[in-house]
Every structure is written in structure tokens, then in C-alpha cells.
Amino acid sequence: MAAVAGQTHDVVLAGDGYMLVQGAKGTVTYKKKLAGPAPVGLIPATNVSFEVLTGSLDSPVQSFKRAIWSTWSGLGQGMVAGTTGWQEAQAKGKVNDLLSLRPVQDSGALALCPMGVEAQVDTAAPGATQYHYLTSGTITLVSIGDRLYKTADPGTNNSGFTFLAAAAAPVYGLGIWNGVVYVATSANLYTLNLTTGVLTLAANNRAAELVATYQGMMVVSSGATLVWWIAGVGAWSPVLNLDSAVTSLEEFDGALYIGTHTGLYKLEGQLKAKSPGTAPTVLDWFDYKINLLWRVVPYYPTGNLLEFNFCKMVGWRGSLWAFVGGQLYKIRPGSSAANLQIEAQPVYGSGRGLAVCGRWLVACGLPAAGGTGCTLWVNESGGDNGLGWWKLAGGENYIYPFPNGGYAQGVINALKYTAALTTTSFVRWLFDQGNPVGFRADNFGVARTPVTGKVTLPLITPEDLAALAGATGGKVLAVNLLRVGLEWSLIDGGVWWPPLPVDVATLVAMQIVIEVSLNAGLSWETLVEPLTGSLSLNAFWFNGNRIELPVNSKFYSASQMYPSAAPSASTVLFPVPDMGWLVRVTWGGLVMPLLRRVWLDYTVAEVHPQTGQTWELDIDLVDPLVGLDGALDTGSSNALSKAGRLSSYVSNGNSITFQDLDGRAYRVKVIGFEQRRVAPGALPGLNPGWQGTLKLAEVWPEN
């Protein structure tokens, strides 16, 4: 028989019958009150108002809460959706996406990245199978295919490099030993004159690919073999065979680290005298040991050499960094595999280069095998993990990042590449390491072009904002977004920043756009000034250093608010776990101030009924439970099962039907449930076992 209030049980909730607890004198703990009108469905104002109020537009302005982002770093650990992840991300200043914006001033602001300058460096097309680079004194040497380039005054061709020489075959590796530059072409080993560009077969010529220096020796690889040249011997060592082809050689922290298709090795040793008694100064014996630190699965989805495991591995800030299996890793090697520390980075894709450029680590990845448009990721010195990863360029045909050690006019460089290229062009970004924000007012004498920067904040859910506001007593019915604000400041009064007043050309080129996505980034709503329908830019407005823009009616369905109902501008069915709002700010132009803070103003609608009716009931959860009709509640209707369902009603926030003592039905939410153990005989007439205090609140039928 179905449970009926007043017949089988005292009250009925979602089809389950419950008996109220009988007190010592036969009284029942039952409270019902009318708290007065408190609307649950929030009705937004029209888009002519800067405030979106709850209830009537004639109501006084409501107090609001503010979520603020003011400490910035790039993408890193702790960046997940949901309340805990968002709070952790906010505390650490982690953001979802930085494009052409970078953290500066100890993470206190975001600065627009300097512009990139693209210039032709060679009339020949690039051989885009692999590239290499090295720095010798003030000269940086770069090889792309069989072509070799070295640093030059940027005024020569505006690229910062000039063509030096063409090798007889594609270059597989570059190295310096005893002050001489060596060029390996797989079949041969050459020396290179950096002044004339003349390539000469090395006196110790042999098949060679990668070239490194370790313990005063020249170390070269060829396929899966490794050999070294000791000057005191004048001959190559016996061949050391590894498990698969060598992809990188990196001297780091007193050892030589060797990457292969299938593993990472650590080679460490010392050059000693083979005959210390008769020739103690002749260092002709290499006493070494080699250990396998990390076994990996081979990775080459397209066959490009740069996507192979550990290719272009570099040492930076106390760790090794390398692409492995389509993701970048930070590797802290120890003495053995047992104490190797590996930390995955949020940089994905097939590797297309890795380079230390001044104080920046630059990684280039192709998002998908066979895809187009690479992403240049940058990490900057500061803190244990830098300032997080930010994108210098995304979706562009920039590959093969490399430094420029000769001229401080573009420490970050890359090849501009498309399949149809007939010439070779480099792009240099005008970063200046000698100032706190990375660019200068004179822009190195180069005419400015606009740069478009974007910052996307972490996913913000209603639960996130409610928890931030302290509303933790139950499921939040709705969150009322009010507005999004920005605050900025100039850098330092004109030393690295053009002084005020801002000229017309600068204002015209400015891009300041605030967008909010209601469907996880599928589409975006642009916020505007209500009276103009756009965002006006002028010197007076700019000098105010802040702006706030309201949300509009597209954020809501009629008479309801997310998450009670889907936004009217969205085609996604709400509510969905971890769905919420994304806030994106476009911050671009010829020059821009530092973006200091972004904030989101909102109010939280607690679970209040339309009529103000609430209930607080003490219910009996003893087994077996006897109803008004004398029947026992068993099976799925026993006390244990009911307690579980009551707990789930609190956590999921579902609206359910409640039949009161008089049999009248109400639409309610369970806003609280507390279960407790009652000792037998504590009071006369008190049943032993479990009891529970249940809190209900009436809601609108639509909710």
C-alpha cells in the first residue's frame, strides 16, 4: 500500500512514509513557520540597468559578494573544475588560459607580450625536418635542414640572423669541443668557421648525429650507439650500444643524460690517467657508469624527428625538461631510477621544439598528429615551478623555437613555416630581459603593431561562488551574476611605458572586451555598456583605471536563474555537473597598461520558499518501524534505506513532494538532515535506535 499522510504515516516525503518522534509526554517535535516572502526565482532587470536585482526593480540595491583575481600565474597544477579546484586555483593564482599575456611584478599583474617581428632570413625554403641551435660566446648558431644561420645585427634584415652556410646534407647535430664548432650530418662530422662559414671534414671524422661535451671529451651518437673522443688518446672509444636510437644528449648537474626512443639514461664518470704511476697527467681513461632511469614507450605518430621521446631535452632551473609521449615533463633526476621525480606539465602535443631563451623556457607543440597550427608555450623564472605556462602564440605556424644570444632584440625566436613556403622567415619577439615587464617604450626602434592578448579564468560553478560567499548550509538554488570588472595601472611613469596622455592611435588600437560563456566555451556573450550597446574608449575613461560591465537578460530564462533553469542564450541542457561560467578578457593593442585585477560580483539565492513556509521535523528511524495502520516498514522502506535517500536529497538538491500532517502536498527541497543515535531508556517512552532532524523548505513548482 502506498504511504499516505494521516493514514499510514504521519508525513510522506517523495513517496516514503515517516513517523514523527514521540517525546516523553507524548508530544511531537514538529515546527512549521511562515517567514514572509522571499523569492527563489530571481527575475533579472532589463539591460538598461547596471544592477541586476532580486525581486522587484523598485527594491533597494542588494548587498553582493565579489570574487577577485589579483594574483596571476599561468596554467599549472591545481587547475580543475569544481569548488575545491577553483578555490585552490584562485589561491594559487592559476588561470585557465593566458595568450600573449604574461605574469609580471611577482604575479601582481598581467602584461601584454611584446610584438613579434617576422622577417625573411633566406631566399631558400626551409628544410623543416629538424633543427638545432647552440651559442658560442655572443653568437647563436641555428641549423634548419641543411642551412646554417648565425646572429646578426637585426638592422641587416630585421630578423636578427643571417645565412651562414649550407651543409652537404641535413644537419643532425651541433656541438662545441675545445672551442671549435662541430656540425654532424649523420654520415660525417665537420668543423665550422663561424666567421667565414666554411665547413671542413673534421680530423676525427666519423658517422655522427648528436654532439655533446662531457668531462673534456667529445661525445657523439649515431643511431643507437654512443662513442667519445679523448684528446689524450687521439682515438674514438669502443662503441656503447643502447636499446634504441639516441634522441638527445644533455649535460646537466655533473652527468650526461641520454634520451632514446625507449628510455632516459644517466652517464656519469671521470676522465683519469690510465697509467698514474708513469703518466699521471695524461688523462686517457674514462671511468664511467651508466644507468637506465626511466623506461618509456616509443612515440612517433607522424615520423617528425622532433616528436620523438626526449628530443631537444634541456636543463632549466634545476630540472630536465622533455616531451615524452606527446606531453611535456619536468624531470628531477636522482642517482637511480628509484629516486627519479617526474612531473607532468599541462603542455600537450607532438613536440616541435624546446629551448631556453634567456630567462624563459619555450616549448612548441603541435596539438594533434596531422593537425595544423602549433602553440608556443612559455614558462618564466620565479617560484619553484616558474610562473606557470602561458601561450606566446597559439594556432600559428611557428615551430622550432631558439634563443638569440648575440643581440638583445628578440631572445625568443622561431621559424615561420607553412608547407608552401619558398623562402625562410624567422619571427623574433621583442622581449627585453633588462626591465621588469619585458618590453621597452622605444620598442627597439621597431614600429609597433597591435598584439591581442586574452586571459580566460577558471571555470566558475554556482557551488564555487556559493561556497566563497559562505552559503554552505544546503544546495544553492540560484546564483545571480551582476557584473564583471577590471582594474589596471600604468607601469612606472614612462620609463618603460609611453607617458600619458594616451594618444589617439593608441586608443583606436586598444582591444578591451569582457565575455562570459554560459556553456563551457561553446559560445560567448559580450558585455557592453547598457546605454550605448558597446564599450566606449577615450582618454578620460582610460585614466579612470577600471571598468565594470553588467550582465544582461541573455543569462537567464524568464523568472528563473541558472542553475534552476538553462540560460536563454544556451542550447546546453542545465544543470550539468561542473557546468558554470567562463570569463574571458581580451586585452590588446599597441601598448596596454598592466591588468591588475578581474572581479565578478554576484549574489547567492539561498533555498527559500515562495511563501516562506519551512518545516523542521524530528523523525523516527528505528527498525522495525510501525505505521499508523499497524503495518511494518521493511525492505526498501526500512529506516536505513530511508536515511540514505534523505542524505541524497540534501546533496543533489532535487525538489520533491512532501505531504504534511493534514495530507496537503507541497513542493520542497531538503535543506538539512541530521541523523543521531539515541540510547534506549534515555527518556520514558523514547524508542531506542536512530532518529533524524529533517529541514524542509517550500519552492516554486517550476523548481
Please state, in angstroms and rounded to a whole number, the distance separating the CA atoms of residues 291 and 276: 27
Please state, in angstroms and rounded to a whole number, the distance separating the CA atoms of residues 375 and 364: 6
Please state, in angstroms and rounded to a whole number, the distance separating the CA atoms of residues 687 and 63: 47
Per-residue pLDDT, 35 = 52
Give the model's confidence band at 289: pLDDT under 50 very low, under 70 low, under 90 confident, else very high. very high
| Share of residues in the chain with pLDDT > 90 (%) | 31
Average pLDDT, the chain: 79
pLDDT tens digits for 649-703? 887 777 889 999 888 888 888 888 888 877 655 544 444 578 889 988 877 555 5
Please state, in angstroms and rounded to a whole number, the distance separating the CA atoms of residues 601 and 483: 5
The winner for highest mean pLDDT among 245-249, 496-500, 515-519 is 245-249
Contacts 24+ apart (CB under 8 A), 296-303: 296/262, 296/263, 296/264, 296/324, 296/325, 297/262, 297/325, 298/244, 298/261, 298/262, 299/261, 299/324, 299/325, 299/326, 300/261, 301/326, 301/350, 301/369, 301/370, 302/350, 302/369, 302/370
Averaged pLDDT, 242-268: 96
Distances (CA, A) of 179 to 136, 190, 192, 314, 497: 8, 14, 11, 21, 42
Per-residue pLDDT, 461 = 73
Give yes or no for residue 51 having a pLDDT over 50: no
| Share of residues in the chain with pLDDT > 70 (%) | 78
Lowest model confidence (mean pLDDT) among 13-22, 81-90, 387-396, 468-477: 81-90
pLDDT tens digits for 194-208? 999 999 999 999 999
Give yes or no for residue 77 having a pLDDT over 60: no
Per-residue pLDDT, 257 = 97
The winner for highest mean pLDDT among 377-381, 556-560, 594-598 is 594-598
